[in-house]
Structure 1
Amino acid sequence: MTGSMRALLWCAGLALAAAVVTYPVYANGYYLALGISVLYFTILATAWAMFSGPTRYISLATVAFFGLGAYTAAVLGETMPWPVVLLAAAGVGALTAAITGLSTLRLSGIYFVIFSFGLAELIRQLVIWYEVNIHKSVGRYLFSGVTQDILYWQLLGLTALVFLVGWLLGRSRYGLALRAIGADETAASHSGIDATRVKLGVFILSATFMAVTGAVMAPRWTYIDPAIAFNPTISFQVVIMALLGGAGSLFGPVLGVIPLVLLFEVLTATLPNHFSIVLGLIFVLIVMALPNGVIGLFGAGRWRVPLGRPAAASARTMVAPLLAVDGVGKSFGGLRAVDDVSFKVSPGEIIGVIGPNGSGKTTLLNTLSGALKPSSGTIRFGGALLNGLRAHQIARLGLARTFQLVRVMPDLTVAENVAAARLFSTSDGAGATASELLDLVGLGTMHETPAGDLTYIDQKRLELARALALQPRLVLLDEWLAGLNPSELETGIALIARLRDRGLTIIMVEHVMDAIRALCSHCIVMSAGSVIARGTPDEVLADPKVVAAYLGGEDA
């Protein structure tokens, strides 16, 4: 872009900013009201997309926080200074979001959608009960000196603030963490991301902006009752606007707000009795025709963050044993999937876990990595008791894993998948960079490739690179070599051997016995949840009990 083009764009931007700021000076009552509608829906849609865009948690609770803010202003607006009223609205919105988020954010999919819609209705009913039984009225009057011009400028300032916060969030580690959670929450947790805390924090932030917007808008109505403040149509309008513009982008929602505010004005005037039907049709058309929103047509607007500090694939020095598993069991109702398993792993070892399908191998790894809590027994890693710790806490201690069914974050690039594992690292950052890890696993030329576009084998490589990015002391490989052709298998075995030579400790569940023989110093064999043999690969593979477990008969 030439210097003159940049200057022209700057001039155009400054002219647009001046026009927006001075809009109340030359706009009459109707067009000023229209500008106010555009601004407050812009704030609501951008705040909604701040949380729901990257996580894909579709929330219908917007009006709950908006209404609480409006009612806070109605209750306090005539007795307290206006800045205090806005702070109180922010506090009420944040507190309500914190209380509800602690329980609701453990839900996902349609369950979260239903709960969020129910939350809005619950809060509306509680307000109605309070007004009728305590305040002895249906609604409240709010007489304020806030004019239309002042209301516009307040909303404009709040719009600028929500964009600034969204911009900072999108370029922080929490922005990438949110996108990782939205892509694959399980993989994100095993990459050291505290999904619950990150989701809760941004949910509170989003709800705070919604509540303040409700408080700012309250003087516009003068009389406020639950039907006005908690109109459920607002939640649906905000979702449709954000999705039309592009919820995965900071400025995408604006592209949905402007045309839909104008359209809703026309519909309200011409089809007031059919507004909800048309609203539903618009929603269906947007989902079908523009799944990534208008901004997705241009391939723009993606929130990116710096890839951050380097991470090491090498192990830290540890005193043996690194891992001590003592009498671990896991039951699912009456099914004992893992039964009284005990073993120890010293630093630098590769331990093989083998056995027929359904013998409890993956369930054992799940208990070690925090995906499942053991029903009995203890697990100690580097002296720390893992029982009761969650997956992200165990990952941060230096215990990484891959999955039997490969898990990558498909919407993130290859480099961002690796970066996600370093967002909350407590290491000093010395060692291999993300680029070096990708080179190590054979993905050095694919940094900007979306992980979902990789082949199955390359996704396995990416999963290993992401595990190594945690700077682990122990890596759990769950059938990582499965599905490789002979050439790829030879390369994979050589890679695992290099990791061992660097001092990395590995537990590998595997059915490829050539790999077990080539890599493992010690094996444990599982059948029906129990350990039936231990020893070197040659010893256990010659054990009659092992042969019988694999082939189904003692004379096999």
Structure 2
Amino acid sequence: MSRPPSTDGVLRPPGNRHALRLLAAPVLAFALVAASFVVPKVTADPFLLSFVPTIVVSLLATLHVWLLLRVNLLSFASPAFMAVGGYTLALAATHLTTNAVALLALCFLVPAALALPLGALLLRLRGTYFALVTFVLAQVVVLIVVIADKPLGGTSGISGIPPATLGAETLGAGGPLLRFSAIVGLAGVAVAGVVTLRWRRHFAAIDENEPLAASLGLRPWAYKTASFVTAAGVAGLAGLVLVNQLGNAHPDSFSPFSAVNHVAAAVLGGVSILGPVIGAVVLSWLVHAFASQAEYSQLLLGATLILVVLYAKGGITGTVQRGFGLLVAGRAGAKSAPESTAETDARRAENLDAARDGDGATTLDAPDPSAEPILVVTELSRRFGGVAAVDGVSFSLRAGEVLGVIGPNGAGKTTLINMVSGHFPPSGGRVELDGGSLTGAPAHTMSRHGIARSYQQTSVFASVSVRENLARAKAFSPRWIDEAELAELLAATGLAGRLDDRAGDLPYGLQKLLGLLLPIATRPRVLLLDEPAAGLERAERVRIDELVDWVVRRGCAVLLVEHDMDLVRRICPRVIVMDTGKPLAEGVPADVFTDPRVITAYLGVADSDELADEDNTLAVATLEDNHG
């Protein structure tokens, strides 16, 4: 079977915009290593000889925080994994070997291995809860060290630790210590750089819009685990450098409160991989400059952080990158405005009006009723405490079928989509695709099986271009359309001339259409649309018809939740009405819209029989007026 044409040409941005950014941190880290060879030859100043190891410890601890910030997790666990790495060095150097390469490997792998089971527990948490638990973890590790008196020395720690060696050279003081510390720092930067660059899109998507990334097929937990394990290993290297420099491992060296400085350095440095290097240097300088007056260093650091948070979001490197981007944009000159789509949209609307049946009935044919359904939902329910948001909803969808779901606000329509798409586990019932159960499967699993969704509000990766939005979706999904199909969809959404525009700068309507394009481009078998026309102008709503027609012609089943009764009437041969979480009526739109029970649900009146008998048009107009 021949492969479809590649879309790489459309999705590849002009030029390599990341080359300078990717090289900056390794170059600076390499310069640190070079300095470690030069400094001992030109000076014997104890301050300078101790400054490089101090910077490296701060750098590696800051990298721990930075790696987890990339996946939208704030960690205060750096002292915990530093302690694991430091005490691993103490025990290994005392009882096993002092070989520097072996110690480096052990001090990375032991904390990383410990992070695997911890991640299985901690990564279920988010936001403040994750941050608090990691801070508690740092305290627990110190308590374990204090309690474990025999192997770890308790409150006295372990002293007299032999320094690392490489051949006949001892790496515990002077120039050898500098070189060893700098090389360990370079190794930490290299590991963090490889991980973040390998999964740059994945980490950025989780950080910016995790639900959207999951609905496109990305497995957030897997990448968070990779980040957590790597961050633990890098922090372990910080413990290696610290204990090797001090010659002892003591609980006080791994105070949980030192994590605050590591977080501060990560925030100060910023989002680029160069950020931890800059943050660590600034933090180390402050500590040394105000060694005799520590309160002043903390005061200055706090004031600097306040300014960064208020006026330089993204830290030092983020601010420099934005300034450089503005400079480049200014030199390039004003970008020509994209061609207006207003006339095209107007023509689309006119053509749609001309193509409609006289009674406004659906323009899409119903699928073959003898065909087997691909999606079967049975008695699906979801309870929040004692409230049933969805209660006993059942339906099936065949390939190429469009099923509309309508109902008053709060009827449970979006909750239904959230369950079928894997964003909420159901409290009861079943979701089956091709006869196999997907009940309770997470969003990324649903997506990889072919169930895609859109969102009621605009949901895109707002900080990057339209092109990068598509590139991320392609990277996450196991299925993708070919280049000709992508060109068709870009034209149908009006985004063909906006590929290099930042998604967050697009007009609302184009953002909404981009939010539809992303799941459609993954070539789904079932497409769940949650109010796709909400907030769109009438001319823009016409594009929804074209997109639905496009996927239906390719055999995709569509579940449409919508407030626009005109759109529902046009494209849905079958409609389900929900009220208070339960199915109320089902049938063709003309019958459903005049059902007395449906009108009662919308209007809350008891004499709906009389209203429904007066005129079908009046009933439909009543629904439209009370549904939006």
- TM above 0.5: yes
Instruction: Quote the residue 1:474 is aligned against.
Output: 526
Instruction: Quote the residue 1:180 is aligned against.
Output: 205
Q: How far apart are the structure 2 equivalents of 1:15 and 1:224?
A: 29
Q: Deviations over 1:437-489 (max 9, x none)?
A: 44442222333333333332222112111112322111100001111122222
Q: Secondary structure at the match of 1:400?
A: strand
Q: How far apart are the structure 2 equivalents of 1:339 and 1:136?
A: 57
Instruction: Quote the residue 2:432 is aligned against.
Output: 380
Relative to structure 1, is the Cα distance of residues 410 and 18 closer, same or farther in structure 2, using a 3 angstrom cutoff? Answer: same
| Residues 1:139 and 2:157 are matched in the alignment | yes
| Residues 1:204 and 2:229 are matched in the alignment | yes
Instruction: Quote the residue 2:619 is aligned against.
Output: none
Whether the 8 Å contact between 1:38 and 1:257 is mirrored in structure 2 is yes
| Residues 1:283 and 2:302 are matched in the alignment | no
Cα RMSD (Å) of the superposition? 2.8
Letter in 1 for 2:139: E
Letter in 1 for 2:320: F
Q: Secondary structure at the match of 1:140?
A: coil
Instruction: Quote the residue 1:342 is aligned against.
Output: 394
Instruction: Quote the residue 1:512 is aligned against.
Output: 564
Which of 25, 28, 34 aligns to 2:51? It is 34
- Structure 1, 276-285 or 137-146: larger mean CA deviation: 276-285
| Residues 1:239 and 2:263 are matched in the alignment | yes
Give the C-alpha shift of residue 534 in structure 1.
1.4
In the TM superposition, what are the counterparts of 1:339-488 in structure 2 within 5 Å? 339-427=391-479, 430=482, 437-488=489-540
Letter in 2 for 1:220: Q
Q: How far apart are the structure 2 equivalents of 1:137 and 1:509?
A: 63
Q: Deviations over 1:139-179 (max 9, x none)?
A: 1111324233233222322333333334333332x221111
Q: How far apart are the structure 2 equivalents of 1:385 and 1:526?
A: 24
Flag structure 2 segments of 5+ consecutive residues without an equivalent.
1-19, 164-169, 325-369, 609-628
Give the C-alpha shift of residue 506 in structure 1.
0.9
Whether the 8 Å contact between 1:192 and 1:396 is mirrored in structure 2 is yes
Whether the 8 Å contact between 1:409 and 1:451 is mirrored in structure 2 is yes
Whether the 8 Å contact between 1:250 and 1:301 is mirrored in structure 2 is no
Whether the 8 Å contact between 2:390 and 2:581 is mirrored in structure 1 is yes
Instruction: Quote the residue 1:128 is aligned against.
Output: 146
Flag structure 1 segments of 5+ consecutive residues without an equivalent.
1-5, 303-317
Whether the 8 Å contact between 2:81 and 2:235 is mirrored in structure 1 is yes
Instruction: Quote the residue 1:65 is aligned against.
Output: 81
Q: How far apart are the structure 2 equivalents of 1:547 and 1:393?
A: 38
Give the C-alpha shift of residue 244 in structure 1.
1.7
- Structure 1, 426-435 or 469-478: larger mean CA deviation: 426-435
Q: Secondary structure at the match of 2:320?
A: coil
Whether the 8 Å contact between 2:36 and 2:178 is mirrored in structure 1 is no
Relative to structure 1, is the Cα distance of residues 430 and 449 closer, same or farther in structure 2, using a 3 angstrom cutoff? Answer: closer
Q: How far apart are the structure 2 equivalents of 1:276 and 1:258?
A: 15
Q: How far apart are the structure 2 equivalents of 1:111 and 1:511?
A: 37
Give the C-alpha shift of residue 398 in structure 1.
0.9
Relative to structure 1, is the Cα distance of residues 184 and 294 closer, same or farther in structure 2, using a 3 angstrom cutoff? Answer: same
Q: Deviations over 1:325-344 (max 9, x none)?
A: 11212222222222221111
| Residues 1:165 and 2:191 are matched in the alignment | yes
Letter in 1 for 2:63: T
In the TM superposition, what are the counterparts of 1:308-347 in structure 2 within 5 Å? 320-347=372-399
Q: How far apart are the structure 2 equivalents of 1:189 and 1:432?
A: 26
Instruction: Quote the residue 1:306 is aligned against.
Output: none
Q: How far apart are the structure 1 equivalents of 2:122 and 2:489?
A: 37
Q: Deviations over 1:184-230 (max 9, x none)?
A: 222221121111111011111111011022113312112221001x1
* Aligned length in residues: 528
Give the C-alpha shift of residue 100 in structure 1.
2.3
Instruction: Quote the residue 2:127 is aligned against.
Output: 109
Whether the 8 Å contact between 1:348 and 1:506 is mirrored in structure 2 is yes
Whether the 8 Å contact between 1:244 and 1:290 is mirrored in structure 2 is no
Letter in 1 for 2:282: P
Instruction: Quote the residue 2:181 is aligned against.
Output: 155
Q: Deviations over 1:335-367 (max 9, x none)?
A: 222222111110011110111111111111111
Q: Secondary structure at the match of 1:344?
A: strand
Q: Secondary structure at the match of 1:220?
A: helix
Relative to structure 1, is the Cα distance of residues 541 and 466 closer, same or farther in structure 2, using a 3 angstrom cutoff? Answer: same
Q: How far apart are the structure 2 equivalents of 1:412 and 1:107?
A: 27
Relative to structure 1, is the Cα distance of residues 155 and 300 closer, same or farther in structure 2, using a 3 angstrom cutoff? Answer: farther
Letter in 2 for 1:354: I
| Residues 1:257 and 2:308 are matched in the alignment | no
Whether the 8 Å contact between 2:56 and 2:238 is mirrored in structure 1 is no
Give the C-alpha shift of residue 120 in structure 1.
0.6
Q: Deviations over 1:211-264 (max 9, x none)?
A: 022113312112221001x12353222222222221x10112222222332222
Instruction: Quote the residue 1:311 is aligned against.
Output: none
Q: Secondary structure at the match of 1:78?
A: helix
Letter in 1 for 2:244: P
Q: How far apart are the structure 2 equivalents of 1:76 and 1:114?
A: 31
Q: Secondary structure at the match of 1:223?
A: coil
Relative to structure 1, is the Cα distance of residues 395 and 292 closer, same or farther in structure 2, using a 3 angstrom cutoff? Answer: same
Q: Secondary structure at the match of 2:426?
A: coil
Q: How far apart are the structure 2 equivalents of 1:319 and 1:154?
A: 69
